[in-house]
Homo-oligomer: A and B are copies of this chain.
Amino acid sequence: MRDVAVIGVSQTKFGELWDVSFRDMITEAGLGAIEDAGIEGADLEAMYVGNMSAGLFIKQEHISSLIADHAGLTPIPSTRVEAACASGGLALRSGVMAVASGYHDIVIAAGVEKMTDVVDPTPAIATASDQEWEAQQGVTFPSLYAMMARRHMYEYGTTREQLAMVSVINHENASKNPRAQFPMKVTLEQVMSSTMVADPLRLLDCSPISDGAAAVILCPAEMAREYTDTPVYVKASAQASGTIALHDRRDITRIDATVHAARRAFKMADLTPGDIDLVEVHDCFSINGILAVEDLGFVEKGEGGRAFEEGMTRIDGDIPVNPSGGLKARGHPLGATGIAQAAEVVWQLRGEAGERQVEGAEVGMTHNIGGTGGTAAVHIFTR
């Protein structure tokens, strides 16, 4: 198995990008990563694209071909990978395997979602849950995560204020991220008094509907220094599946897929949570930030709320979480998120994260989940 490095990254501005089409958005991200890597399009040997539901959002499947064509990259192999909101993380892992296997040397792994071209994105998002047991019954994602939050509050005494602090810290970080959809601070009071969506989750507990794309360029580790002075190495690429529907889980206050993927990732990298200098977690709702720091092993089960309340997860804290602003404030174009997380970690490990830089960051992690945790992808990167 060949070791793999990241030599280029890129992310478009996330937001409601009314004036940019799906195909132009992903091409912009791809060109950005190509430029960042100092290569040419013709150097690319394969493409993997994470996308949850262009079929439902813009009536377009077969986006792998569309993108290769629109970007002028035919005839290279181009593959779409999907696992709801974890699509980006899985595209990254597929790209890593393509390089690790020796099938391809220089590979682009990208993610994209165009969510604002449909009148109501809610039914499309609901297809990430179990259609027969959940979506068809009218369940939406805020309501599913609200149940997880309620149970976590009941089991562990997690407070409404602790949930709010996930959003407060995310927005504080996003205010230093020019690519974020919402680069502005919010106060605890603003979160606590925002519109109720699904009790106990309020509007400012929820990640937004976003358009956006991101891309990373991978190559064999031994070739990386031909292209860059600041390669970042993929030390672990792990993925796990869990029960898709909430009612069938033994415990809805923990995401088993995260636990399994994290365990494998740490084993693969021969590292422990204490070695991680920053982590980009999948906080599509504030409760999921709390679950993530617990399930990834940064704090004991039930201590996640306190970690955010006490500032442990701030950029200057013990375990900086989402210096990018996370899904809440950077934005969450579903298929792009897993790749955007990787891009942020790469910028951090290169020391290029500007005002949101985690000082001396040497080891970073990404955590990307699909649905309410039916899929989890965990990656560890080092300088």
User: Chain A interface (Cβ within 8 Å of chain B)?
Assistant: 1, 21, 52-53, 55-56, 58-62, 64-66, 68-69, 73-84, 90, 93-94, 97-98, 100-103, 123-124, 127-132, 135-136, 237-245, 248, 256-257, 260, 370-371, 374-375
Q: How far is the CA of A261 from the CA of B145 in the complex (A)?
A: 44
Residues of chain B within 8 A (CB-CB) of A77 are 93, 238-241
Q: Is the Cβ of B52 less than 8 Å from the Cβ of A61? A: yes
Q: How far is the CA of A185 from the CA of B233 in the complex (A)?
A: 58
Q: How far is the CA of A237 from the CA of B248 in the complex (A)?
A: 38
Residues of chain B within 8 A (CB-CB) of A132 are 21
Q: Is the Cβ of B68 less than 8 Å from the Cβ of A241? A: yes
| Given contact pairs A59-B135, A127-B55, A103 touches B1 in the complex (Cβ within 8 A) | yes
A333 shortest CB reach to chain B, Å? 15
Q: Is the Cβ of B241 less than 8 Å from the Cβ of A78? A: yes
Q: Is the Cβ of A257 less than 8 Å from the Cβ of B75? A: yes
| 12 more CB-based (< 8 A) A-B contacts, given A64-B375, A75-B242, A77-B239 | A52-B62, A58-B131, A59-B135, A61-B128, A65-B84, A66-B130, A69-B374, A75-B240, A79-B90, A79-B93, A97-B97, A100-B103
State the oligomeric state as a number of copies.
2
From A57, which residue of chain B is reached at the shortest CB distance? Answer: B55
Task: Offer 8 A-B interface pairs, CB within 8 angstroms, sorted by A.
Answer: A1-B102, A52-B61, A60-B135, A61-B128, A65-B244, A74-B256, A77-B241, A79-B93
Q: Which of B60, B75, B82, B248 contacts A80 (CB 8 A)?
A: B82
Q: How far is the CA of A328 from the CA of B126 in the complex (A)?
A: 35
Cβ-closest 5 pairs across A and B = A65-B374, A101-B101, A77-B239, A1-B102, A68-B241
Residue of A78, A238, A371 with most partner-chain B CB within 10 A: A78
Q: Is the Cβ of B65 less than 8 Å from the Cβ of A241? A: yes
Q: How far is the CA of A66 from the CA of B68 in the complex (A)?
A: 29
Q: Which of B53, B58, B83, B93 contacts A65 (CB 8 A)?
A: B83
